[in-house]
A and B are shown apart, each in its own frame.
Chain A
């Protein structure tokens, strides 16, 4: 069987069954796009985790005169309490660095962070308590700090940023799970559609197949054009999906978020490229398996 002859058969087959070929391309594209989206979201989460865990801090807020926490007993933290907390912190092996943030600094930072928000006007110096910001050498050990200082005299509250991040990563995990779930449904759709397309293509070409069988063409000669057709169509679908992922990443992430200094924490085109062989491989395996199984059922000698 000449490659040129097979190519001709594949081309004429695709042309005669164009609407089905298009639908397989589109369904493959959507399923692989969703799958890629889910996997990219997961990668984004992983990248961010690495980035944020290095910077994660535990904040120990000190009491002020109008603190409502029972631990404060309505009194501001004393100089001695402050010093005792700081020295205890510095003595802990889990602690990498300690910064003290005064009320003035906290107020400045707040104004800077919320400069576009109307709440700024209602907040005055002293509303935000002074705090110790603790950088841990191992961010997962925050519980040690929390438990030691929660009840310490002069401490209003201990806040751990990991709790906030955990929630954020939880959301990303849900997005991933949901898109992978949708992708699974779409892959099932794609598989069924491929099977239907092959059945229809076999029906359209029943004359050719009849003659091929009559003159003694081998089973693989009869089946090969169908398999190649499916491969071409499925590969086009994955190609489009990869293109869309790349484009989406560029437009939404790398251009839209560029102002934010999160750049290092973002995934890029490289992550799309490293997914590509897996998406292609998966679809090729699905296309070949579906073709072979369907042809075995519907093209008996």
Chain B
């Protein structure tokens, strides 16, 4: 269903490859965790599978299609077969739960009769019955992620890609979300979930693909989350002599996106 053959991805202006010679094959109906520390290439793997990015080398096959040779015009049709969920939910704040889920169908031209049937059905499936009229900010984080999942699966995709879906959630809520994903998987959807949350991985005991610095270091069935072989979560911070120490207020500084202030162009 998803197949990476010797895939390498080097981002522009980066010397180190985000993925280096990765081989992964996910069969139809599988549930696979992609684990690894930040910067190990999990998100890049998912972005390649969604054709948000193109591989620098190798072949990416998803739902029977070669994404490297796919023309841009065919991308929208391809993405209708794929659902995607993210750490930051990505809901539309001005729209109700119903409208958020319906939006995904409206923009691909589904008839409104189908929308009226599918939206409540899907909301019930993710456990949000009766909350369709609420706005996202009136929901808890776990509920917001359920809305995002409902939106991702409402068009009944063959594949569901989840990038750190529990990254913003409490451990208990995280487990509920992964159980929901498991339920969706048992109904026939192939699920690929990137995470560095050991508890959820250990609770599920499914296939685990472990990445480190862009290389697959482990691919095991019914596995647990093993600590990374590199001791640090973010090794660059220790190695870089110019790295800023944990100063008070440093988080706020992070809000300044250099690209918006033209720093990128200046380089």
A residues apposed to B, CB below 8 Å: 1-2, 5, 12, 207-208, 210-219, 221-222, 301
Contact = CB atoms under 8 A, between A and B. Distances in A.
B77 interface: yes
Contacts of B78: 216
Contacts of A215: 79-80, 104, 107-108, 151, 155
Given A212-B107, A214-B79, A216-B79, A207 B151 contact: no
Interface bin, chain B: 20 to 34
Q: Which of A1, A207, A210, A217 has the largest number of chain B CB atoms within 10 A?
A: A217
B92 interface: yes
Given A1-B107, A221-B109, A301-B72, A213 B79 contact: yes
A212 B100 CA distance: 11
A216 B80 CA distance: 5
A149 B76 CA distance: 84
Contacts of A207: 90, 92-93
B92 A214 contact: no
Interface string B83-127: 010000010111000000001101111001000000000000000
B92 A217 contact: no
A2 B106 contact: yes
Contacts of B139: none
Contacts, number: 58
B68 to A, nearest CB: 15
A217 B112 contact: no
A216 B77 CA distance: 6
Contacts of B203: none
Given A214-B50, A215-B155, 16 more contacts: A2-B112, A12-B94, A207-B92, A214-B79, A214-B84, A215-B80, A216-B77, A216-B80, A216-B81, A216-B82, A216-B108, A218-B108, A219-B73, A221-B109, A301-B72, A301-B76
Contacts of A2: 106, 109, 112
B75 interface: yes
Contacts of A216: 75-82, 108
The 4 closest A-B pairs by CB, nearest first: A216-B79, A216-B80, A217-B107, A215-B104
B117 to A, nearest CB: 16
A216 B151 CA distance: 12
B108 A211 contact: no
Contact of B90 (A5, A211, A218, A221): A211
A269 B41 CA distance: 69
A43 to B, nearest CB: 47
28 contacts: A1-B106, A1-B109, A5-B106, A12-B94, A207-B90, A207-B92, A207-B93, A208-B92, A208-B103, A211-B104, A211-B107, A212-B107, A214-B50, A214-B84, A215-B108, A215-B151, A216-B77, A216-B79, A216-B108, A217-B76, A217-B107, A217-B108, A218-B76, A218-B108, A219-B76, A221-B107, A221-B109, A301-B72
A261 B78 CA distance: 73
B106 to A, nearest CB: 5
Contacts of B92: 207-208, 211
Nearest to A214: B84
A219 B108 CA distance: 10
Interface string B125-145: 000000000000000000000
Nearest to B109: A1
Contacts of A221: 107-109
B105 to A, nearest CB: 8
B213 to A, nearest CB: 28
A207 B151 CA distance: 14
Contacts of B112: 2
A118 B108 CA distance: 81
